[in-house]
């Protein structure tokens, strides 16, 4: 089989890239290890930056998001049981967010792929990447097993969109890359419930630990609390979760939290991870294959979208204009935005969580920093700019 771009992974990054390329007449084949049902069962965040919303519009998959998504003007921060304050990203930097679940985006991308006849091969095993080092006279290829039969795709480029545990990043030769990693000593217990949500996405710093109120739809709320890494989901029945959640919120917000039976519950560890470079020869990494951010800054899906925008547009230039400058600069261009988002997520994680080594001094210092944010228009504007995300850079 032959194609122009072989895409490894059918998550949001892989499917957005395939959709962008198709809009410009560039062929691709998407390989996926899991079934479609499994991919659609992975519950993830859904706070979309302006750049992500604009990309979804550009590639023609924004119709349902425009109809069912929920626009909001910023986020709310609360601390020490005191009155909360609002970080207004519209007034400060002119950017609005849209809450629209990642699963819904995935459904829209699958529907668009079916409509255009995208070749998507799932349930593949033993995926291997070959000859992507751009050596003269050699063309990249991807081999895989499906139903016990070894197949191969010859291609011009390979896009590794297969997540942190995928094969693409590991296919780079030893010594080529460098990793930067920070593992946090706690996790997030997340609960999804069919109950009304709070008016704003709300982050809470509390001596008992961090908490967050978010949502996916009008009556689909997502709540999180910080828990020790050794905790298990079984340790947190609903009867324990809801009182603990409310104990961390200021009273005026806690009384507005509506309890209900959880329909999904999970614990996710937190880490920051960046792999440099994000390209080698004709292999390019996108999304979680290249970087992981703690969910505190709501950056993971948005970074995948910006990677896709940079790489997709660079590939369009290659095929349309014979111009490879943007492809050559892909890693450097993408990493500038990646590190900006990593820094924002790291800063918010340090500001809002209670670490095991914390003393009363450390907790007080956090509260003073939050109080400073609340009282200083300049500090608030800086945080709003960081949270809203940097604009995409123009291609070289």
Query: Which residue is catalytic, options 206, 299, 318, 353?
Result: 299
Query: Which residue is catalytic, options 12, 72, 140, 280?
Result: 72
Q: Are 323 and 315 in contact (CB under 8 A)?
A: no
299 is catalytic: yes
Q: Is 342 left (phi over 0), alpha (psi -120 to 50) or beta?
A: alpha
72 is catalytic: yes
Q: Are 258 and 172 in contact (CB under 8 A)?
A: no
Query: Which residue is catalytic, options 144, 203, 224, 330?
Result: 203
Nearest to 11 by CA among 95, 105, 129: 105
Alpha-carbon distances, residue 101 vs 68, 141, 357 (angstroms):
10, 34, 35
For tokens 């751009």, name the residue.
134
Nearest to 303 by CA among 45, 2, 52: 52
203 is catalytic: yes
Alpha-carbon distances, residue 113 vs 30, 38, 82, 118 (angstroms):
10, 17, 48, 5
CA distance 109 to 5: 18
Query: Which residue is catalytic, options 294, 295, 318, 330?
Result: 295
Q: Is 90 exposed, middle or buried (0-12, 13-18, 19+ CB in 10 A)?
A: middle
Query: Which residue is catalytic, options 100, 223, 310, 387?
Result: 387
295 is catalytic: yes
Q: Longest C-alpha distance within the chain, in Å?
A: 68
β-partners of residue 158 are 6, 283
By annotation, the residues acting in catalysis are 72, 203, 295, 299, 387
């Amino acid at each position: 089989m032959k194609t122009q771009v072989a895409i490894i992974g059918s998550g949001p990054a892989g499917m957005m890239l395939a959709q962008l390329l198709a809009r410009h007449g560039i062929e691709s084949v998407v390989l996926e290890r899991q079934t479609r049902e499994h991919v659609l069962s992975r519950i993830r965040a859904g706070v979309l930056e302006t750049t992500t919303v604009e990309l979804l519009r550009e590639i023609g998959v924004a119709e349902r998001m425009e109809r069912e998504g929920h626009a909001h003007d910023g986020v709310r921060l609360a601390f020490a049981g005191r009155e909360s304050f609002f970080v207004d990203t519209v007034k400060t930097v002119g950017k609005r967010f849209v809450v629209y679940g990642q699963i819904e985006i995935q459904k829209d991308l699958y529907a668009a792929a079916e409509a255009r006849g995208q070749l998507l091969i799932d349930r593949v095993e033993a995926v291997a990447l070959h000859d992507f080092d751009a050596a003269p006279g050699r063309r990249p290829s991807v081999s895989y097993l499906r139903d016990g039969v070894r197949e191969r795709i010859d291609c011009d480029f390979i896009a590794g969109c297969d997540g942190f545990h995928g094969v693409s990043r590991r296919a780079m030769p030893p010594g080529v890359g460098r990793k930067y990693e920070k593992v946090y000593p706690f996790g997030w217990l997340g609960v999804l419930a069919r109950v009304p949500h709070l008016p704003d996405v709300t982050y809470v710093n509390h001596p008992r630990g961090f908490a967050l109120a978010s949502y996916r739809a009008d009556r689909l709320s997502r709540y999180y609390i910080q828990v020790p890494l050794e905790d298990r989901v079984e340790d947190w029945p609903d009867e324990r979760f809801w009182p603990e959640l409310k104990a961390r919120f200021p009273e005026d917000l806690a009384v507005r939290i509506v309890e209900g039976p959880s329909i999904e519950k999970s614990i996710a560890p937190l880490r920051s991870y960046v792999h440099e470079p994000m390209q080698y020869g004709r292999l390019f990494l996108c999304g979680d294959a290249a970087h992981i951010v703690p969910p505190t800054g709501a950056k993971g899906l948005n970074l995948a979208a910006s990677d896709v925008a940079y790489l997709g547009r660079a590939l369009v230039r290659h095929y349309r204009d014979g111009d490879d400058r943007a492809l050559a600069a892909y890693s450097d261009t993408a990493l500038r935005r990646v590190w900006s988002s990593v820094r924002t997520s790291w800063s918010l994680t340090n500001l809002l969580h209670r670490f095991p080594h914390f003393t009363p001094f450390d907790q007080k210092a956090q509260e003073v920093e939050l109080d400073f944010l609340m009282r200083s228009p300049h500090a608030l504007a800086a945080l709003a700019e960081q949270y809203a995300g940097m604009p995409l850079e123009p291609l070289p």
